[in-house]
Chains A and B, each alone.
Chain A
Amino acid sequence: MNARLWKFLTSLKVTVVLLLLSTLLVFLGTMAQVNEGLWEAQERWFKSYFVVRHAGDAWWVPPVFPGGYSLGFSLLFNLIAAHIHRFQWSSKKVGIHLTHAGIVLLLVGQLATDMLSRESFVSFEEGQTRDYSEAHRTVELVVLGEPQNGRERVVAFSEAALSRKQALLAPDFPFEMRVTEWGENGEVHSHATLLEIGTQMQTAIATMKSKYGTAEALPGEAERAKENGARSAIWAEALKAVGEKDPDIVAAAKRVAADPAREGILRKELQTRFSSQMLEAFSMRQPTMEKMQAAKYLGSQLAEDKFVPLDKLPAAAAQGAGQRMLLVPKPPAHGMDDRNFPYAKIEILEKGKSIGVWMLSPWIVPQEIQVGGQTFRIALRSERYGQPFSLTLLKTTHEVYPGTQIPKNFQSHIMLENKGKGEKREVDISMNNPLRYGGLTFYQHQMGRTEVSGGKGNSQLQVVRNPSWITPYLGCAIVSLGMVWQFLYHLVGFVTKPRPVKAKAPLQA
């Protein structure tokens, strides 16, 4: 290689520039978390070779920036090359060598972790047993056949296969499947719920609007609203919109009612304001999650003046549960708390002949299909990772500090059973006290209490498989050793070296 180029590539200048770029990348990647969420910002900025600006980015995002992998590999190269180029063996340099060796290990270890580690979770209620964990973000298509010879027949297809819209073949099953439609995120609402909630909403809104149907009705309504703080506030705002700032809303309402130029505007203002308040209150009031979602959806449509034909709702699919469902595709969600709910439409082919299209979504329970005299169930669910052992949640403990809501302790008491090894024992998992077993680590993640199922406690455990977990420990130990060595080496030299004293204190002995 060209000697000058080699010298340049191994120079400290390059190191400093790479470190500066790394600092900047870490800063930008942290800022990006505000808009993009932790997970996405991590993928885009740190687990990538280049970050390219795209539409909708904040003003500070540069057009192109090297990503975490580029900078990591460059630093690694620079570091190793510099050592090959300028290696010296002396006690003065031992600390530096150790530090750098540790950093190489750290960089390599982080890369290995990125590629090899897998995070999933186990979510269960008291009394439930799980011998698998579920993925956070990916789903799978699963087909469950009737048990044969005492064994359940299960075939799963990954999300990747679904999104490529491949033909899905299962050798044991007398049919094949084709993905006709795939979406990253979508809501499904049952027609019955939409009809029920939508009718109630429309009636309520119509009743409300008729109250403000005529100018004559205004003073009376204002009089009634006076008693109620929230209603009178809405009146005050609506009156402001027509130029009335009088705190006495009744008097103001009378004036506007007598003014044909303004009364129509005031009625429109009142109708809009009260209906948006009603729509919001409506979705909050719903008893179940499903109804709340439906009310929110209908509310958002009404707020945009979109008409949902409640009696002629389109079916999501020709077969199965999809016939009575409305599918609302949504843009992929960002952010920490948002989750995507993918959906798929699957065509089932028996001996090459289509027998219909089914709609699948994690919102829908497994659907039965009949093919060749057999019954199968198909569903889209979180991707599962099996374990050769099972966990049963015996008891959850959720303590808060007295008189507050500050969590003090989350603890899951668990029965661990490994039939293959004849193991059966009870363990506790709590915050800062994970369970390590079978190459997996189980951490206490969330905890709650289900209102519906008789107040049973539920628990969510984070499950991590990371074969390279040891590298950061080793790397850190080596770097620390090297730095302490170097620091002490200099400190001892510095302290023992005589130096001139600048200002002599008079009281000094």
Chain B
Amino acid sequence: MKKLLPLLLPALCALWVVSAWRTPSDKSDTIPANAFGRLPVIANGRVQPLDSLARNSLLQIREKQTASTGTSEGAARTLSASEWLLELFFQQDKADTRPVFRILHTEVKGLLGLPLDPDPAQGMDGKHFSWNNLAPKLPDLMQEARRAQSVKSELHTPYDRALLQLWNGVTLYRRLEAAAQPRDTDDWERELREFTAAVPAGRAAAKAQQEGKTLDPKETAALETLIHTLQHASDMQTLTPPLLVPPITPGIGPEGWQRTDESLFQVAKGEPVPSALRAYAAMGTAYRAGNGPAFSAAVETYRQELGPNLHKVLKKCANEQLFSNLEPFYKATVLYVLIGLCVMIFTLAPERFSVLRETAHRLTLFTLLLHTAGLIFRMVLEGRPPVTNLYSSAVFIGWGACGLGLLLERFWKNGIGLLASSSAGFLTLIIAHNLAQSGDTMEMMRAVLDTNFWLATHVVVVTLGYSATFVAGLLAVLYVVLGFFTSTLTKESAQSLSKMVYGIVCFAALFSFIGTVLGGIWADQSWGRFWGWDAKENGALMIVLWNAIFLHARWGGIARERGLMALALGGNIITAWSWFGVNMLGIGLHSYGFMSAAFSWLMLFVVTQLILMALALLPVRLWRSRLA
């Protein structure tokens, strides 16, 4: 067992990860939701598979990447994101019964006349509601949302925020609903066929009518068919659904994509009918009939038609679906927990469980590999350096911290580096997971930030500086927790922790300084000033200053071991502030909006660090570990 464990556990984990590395397939004879999910669409300004659109939309509406059928037709069943989107595209009356709107705020429920508690008789769990549940009170919701929108976002009450979140969800739902076909149509495929057939005659009739001629019944019928469908199109237009129709002519980029409604207007002008219109109409018919083979055939024909022009787009969409399915960061989170457990058991009795350290070491290597693979996959998909927004900064900070921890383990081999790796990796990925709740994490870069060179240099280096400062802080947390609350911190391990912190702070000072300076150079290149005292710049400067304080205090002998640990803990506060706090101020070039939910977490974090700092400074005789 002792020899097997360090081999077996990592191997099992690798198997678990690698087994998901394949294109998700569909069962024959059912509606192929995965094949549908691979089809391309432009939403949020970028080409993505429908699968991603479905997942990100559900995240915003339901705070999960899946939906549920609800209990209206017997036991509740989970719907994958693509299955849900299929229903929303092609069978809206059924989609409207799915409890996908997550509403927790009691006042919002009150506004909409929804039950506060679970109501099994009506099949309601008290948290999730369907479109049909909301529909009667929609005008009230709209009116309240308008009011909340007119209030400055800093002044929003929790009720306002819950309200606006729901309103965004409702808008999004309606936009998706209008993406492929109009809502109130019985047979869209037939309507589309009649519409396209009626275009030449209908156009002639419209012209004749303008010239004052009277129309015969046949002409009138053609004109009416045309107007009927265009009325549908203009209803869809008001909702601005995602762009589902790729350009017909080869060599046109993303700017050539259209919405279904735009495309219908083009067809009415005599333009050729894009294959997407026919394909989605055929899919809709097959879907409603529950005809899996016909659906697959429609998808396949559509892919064939897109193939020559949009080969790369299709490939990218398939890859992105694979990536979502692989969930590398979720799996890494689980593995970090496992590593943490192994190391903690090891530290209880290092002599007895030394095998666990070896196991954890190998697992960490594997997890770092997985984390790296996930980062690289994302970079390739986006065509960008690793950090482009707050979400990816969290993923990257975790990666950097995990790497630093492994480096420490290489020198000290006492499990502390592994503990730092796993806890930093776990915490940052949890933060990333929560940041991803806001929707698409691969959003397009605004013009100001649209430069790969500076994203690759300034952002990466400054983020590594954050990583290092956090690792130093984490080691200080270990020092204080182990030393104050337990008797396990020996004099030697205290010394080695102190050396580790010093080494990491040197690294942090170097990276945060160079990163900050590169940011200044970017600003000078883009806005004409090296330093503008912008909130995010100031945050980075504070990290540099704080690291300088640590180093000078150590060199000057002003602070000793525990004093330095308190300083390293302070580094945690400053880094967290600079990473998140400044975004919450809602000012400056770098502000990403007010994040109130995160604010209370940040405050909690700051308070815990302050308490640890206070403990670090208590006389050593109050500590349980004997360091004196």
Contacts and interface: CB of A to CB of B under 8 A. Distances in A.
A33 B585 contact: yes
A358 B130 CA distance: 67
Interface string A17-61: 001101100110111011000100110001000000000000000
Interface majority SS on B: helix, strand, loop or mixed? helix
B531 A472 contact: yes
Contacts of A504: 354, 413
Contacts, number: 198
B538 A505 contact: no
B155 interface: no
Contacts of B140: 229
B21 to A, nearest CB: 28
A506 B358 contact: yes
A8 B591 CA distance: 42
A260 interface: no
Contact of B555 (A12, A33, A41): A12
A199 B498 CA distance: 77
A402 B45 contact: yes
Contacts of A19: 545, 548-549, 552
A476 B538 CA distance: 17
Interface in A486-509: 486-487, 490, 494, 499, 501-508
Given A34-B585, A408-B450, A476-B521, A464 B574 contact: no
B357 A503 contact: yes
Contacts of A46: 533
A503 B586 CA distance: 49
B527 A443 contact: yes
Contacts of B534: 38
A117 to B, nearest CB: 7
A105 interface: no
Interface in B485-544: 493, 496, 503, 506-507, 509-510, 513-514, 517, 520-521, 524-535, 538-539, 541-542
B524 A431 contact: no
Contacts of B552: 12, 15-16, 19
Contact of B448 (A38, A113, A431, A484): A431
B530 A472 contact: yes
Q: How large is the interface on B (under 10, 10 to 19, 20 to 34, 35 or more residues)?
A: 35 or more
Contact of B558 (A13, A466, A483, A502): A13
Interface residues of A, number: 69
Contacts of A432: 448, 450-451, 454, 525-526
B599 interface: no
Interface stretch (B159-167, B187-195, B254-262, B316-324): B254-262
Given A505-B358, A506-B358, A38 B447 contact: no
A441 B523 CA distance: 13
A113 B507 CA distance: 30
B525 A499 contact: no
A507 B528 contact: no
Nearest to B448: A431
A505 B257 contact: no
A403 interface: yes
A409 B530 CA distance: 23
A251 interface: no
Contacts of B587: 33-34, 38, 336
A407 interface: yes
Interface string B434-466: 000000000110111011001000000000000
Most buried by B among A480, A483, A503: A503
Contacts of B2: 506
A406 B524 contact: no
A464 B546 CA distance: 32
Interface in B94-140: 139-140
A271 interface: no
A480 B588 contact: no
Contacts of A407: 446-447
Contacts of B506: 486-487, 490
A402 B257 contact: yes
Contact of B539 (A30, A464, A499): A30
A33 B514 CA distance: 25
B598 interface: no
A416 interface: no
B243 interface: yes
A401 B42 CA distance: 10
Nearest to B41: A403
Contact of A229 (B143, B414, B517): B143
Nearest to B443: A406
Contacts of A484: 510
B414 A30 contact: no
Contact of A507 (B3, B415, B510, B530): B3
A203 B135 CA distance: 40
A469 B22 CA distance: 53
Contact of B45 (A15, A403, A441, A502): A403
Nearest to B355: A506
B582 interface: yes
Of residues A472, A479, A501, A504, which shows the largest number of chain B Cβ atoms within 10 Å of its Cβ?
A472
A480 B524 contact: no
A75 B451 CA distance: 35
Given A23-B574, A33-B587, A34-B585, A11 B556 contact: yes
B556 A29 contact: no
Given A31-B585, A507-B355, 14 more contacts: A15-B552, A26-B541, A38-B587, A401-B444, A404-B44, A406-B446, A410-B447, A441-B528, A479-B513, A499-B411, A504-B354, A504-B413, A505-B357, A507-B358
Interface of B: 2-3, 6, 42-46, 139-140, 142-143, 240, 242-243, 254-255, 257, 259, 350, 354-355, 357-358, 361, 411-415, 443-444, 446-448, 450-451, 454, 493, 496, 503, 506-507, 509-510, 513-514, 517, 520-521, 524-535, 538-539, 541-542, 545-546, 548-549, 552-553, 555-556, 558, 574, 577, 582, 585-588
6 closest cross-chain pairs (CB), A and B: A401-B45, A12-B556, A464-B528, A476-B517, A404-B45, A502-B414
Interface of A: 11-13, 15-16, 19-20, 22-23, 26-27, 29-31, 33-34, 38, 41-42, 46, 110, 113, 117, 119, 229-230, 233, 336, 400-404, 406-410, 430-432, 434, 441, 443, 462-464, 466, 469, 472-473, 476, 479-480, 483-484, 486-487, 490, 494, 499, 501-508
